[in-house]
Structure 1
Amino acid sequence: MSLDPIELECRLDILNSHSEKLMKCQSKIEEIDEDDMAREELEDIIVETNFIIKSILAKNKTSLAETSFVASHSSRLPKINLPKFRGEYSEFKSFVSLFESLVHNDPNISNIKKFNHLVNCLSGEALGTVKAFQMSNENYPKALASLKKVYDNKCLIFFNTISKLFELPTIPKPSAPSLRSMIDEVLAVYDPLLSLGDEKQITNAIIIHLVMTKVDPATRSKWKEALDYDKLPLWKECEATLNRRYQQLSAEGASHSRTKPILTGSTSHGKQQQMDRTKSPLVAANTRQPTCQHCKSRDHRLTT
């Protein structure tokens, strides 16, 4: 029997047509001879033949679909490299979207292979986030969830994206290409920001970021401790944190001034005067000229 799918489909149509005619003939035979038992055997032959042809056609269609899929991907689409991620919050959204599209959502890749791909995509602090998990099928979803918990943070992504605006280089002289590049870079930052917050929140974030670059590291640390990472902050919240920090520093300064020993210039001068008074009799005694024992005069010396 030929395995050509078109010929098989034609033979299947012929088989169904002959089967229908055969069953009509069998019905007439049974009208004449009620004891005829051929119907059951004929039905078994028809069903078995039908099953064989349809099974061959089904396998052929599956093989053809797989071949077409591989051919279309290998010959038409360029090779897409897996994305890399070092731990930049502003880059996590694009990374995880591409990784899930290429690896995570592919049912033909086992979890342990997905885990291996994930590890190979990560470096730096991001790699350390999943290194604690032993590589296994069961731990892959846990590792990916842990990575998302750390980096899929709306507030951190928002502020890290804002920071890119302050990293833009200064245009040294008028130039159309430089200005065009500046506009494109700002749009590349501004559009993702709009997907995270409205213009009011963007304005607040810019003010907060600018202020935080001017304060001391300890104050900046206090602000980060007070930050609610589940929502985007407003300037009034930042102002409240700065006011608390001001009150704390004021209280520490007042306490320090009360406990600090006072050493004034007058005290030091007084000590010096006391030392001078102690020394003066001795100095006077050492510098006193001898006197005449007879007339008590210093105008002449007494000789022997």
Structure 2
Amino acid sequence: MEADLRILMDLKSQIERSRVNFKKSSKERITPIFIEIRLEALEKQFGKFSEKHTGLISKYEPNELNKTTYIKEDLYQALYDTYLNYKVELKSTLSKFKNDIVSPSCSETSKQSMKSSCVKLPKISIPKFSGKYTEWSTFRDLFISLIQNNETLDDVQRLHYLKTQLTGEAEQLIRHIPITQSNYKKCWQLLTDRYNNKKFMSNCILKRLFSQRNITCESSNSLKELLDSTTDCLHELSNLGIDIKSWDVIIIYIISLKLDVETRKQWELYVSQLPDELPTFKQLKEYLETRFRALEFVEPSKSKTRASYANVNNNPKALHVTSNFTCPHCSEGHRLYNCKQFAKEDVDKRRNIVQSLGLCFNCLGYNHSNKICRVTIKCRICKRRHHTLLHPKSQVDSATCGVAMESTCNSNDTILDSPKDNTITNIATHFLKDKVQTIWSKDMG
């Protein structure tokens, strides 16, 4: 392969150098015979190049060729463009030596054609085809126009280009068919039989046409999207050979159901002013175009809307918090020390309930122990640090109450990082996540 590539690159450089030398030639040297000899040499060189290129394509596998710089940079096409431009330059120079008198109009036409031939147009690339039915029509039309109808290519080159433009399922369909002169039509027929499924393609187009979303409010963008999608679907159906000339009534009915209330109302008023005949899709299209153009002037711009939204969000807002208290004993909306069921229990049971819930024995609050409780109110009976509802009835129990309470609370300590300021008499801690809130105030206890 390396020897063949070197020959191709040498022929390419010969043609390019010949063109450069022709441009450097003096006026005395450029004669009709000089130009004709160069034309003959150019044809021979390019003929050898084309034969070598065809042999290279037919001899090696596509996967092996695609790794070479020759295929990656598409050097054949680059040389072909150089060949055409060089040939045009030679023939244009030769035409100046003809003795026939050329009219001014003809000379201007020839100049314009020369200018147009020198314009470097962008390269048209064929999209890759992966086997999706929706991509088949575009791929097929472009490939036929650019490759299949190109008379300068033979079937070996066409099959090579065809295989390089396929991926996925489509590539797998003809993967094992070798690149030969006779296999191009066979491969193209396989692809056509597989993907030229008009029934499936028409179903996809109709599904897209009927499943367009309804417009809930007046919007220029929504109207444009609805109109463009409908027009595109109709064009695709027409490309499949489906006659849609008599579909106007059906299409108008479908589109009318998608419109918002005000736009549909205006459409009915617009139709009522027309002659007493069935409206056409062309009239609906003109109405919708007029409608969304008017809405574009009325609707606020997105930048203004975003700016106003940002200004609103930057304004300070007052936060209103609603405190909902849930009793941990009866699950009603009050604090534990206001619970009637809790008060009916005997002192020992009340202490067991507080201990099992992990509450503070001083304020009956959550998430802290009696040791670090910041509420200064003490038992009204014995003035010790426990709640009045937890005060023992007997004097013996009352004497040992402080020690018992302290030892019981220390076993359930859940220490929080908080300031030890006993002067604070009004603190509210809200645990919004678990819907638990603990409030200390002067009147607790």
Per the TM superposition, whether the score is higher than 0.5 is no
Considering only CA atoms, is the larger Rg found in Structure 1 or Structure 2? Answer: 1
| TM-score of the two chains, using structure 2 as the length reference | 0.30
Q: Could you say which structure has the higher helix fraction?
A: 1
Q: Report 1 or 2 for greater relative contact order, CA contacts < 8 Å, sequence distance ≥ 6.
A: 1
TM-score by length of 1: 0.42
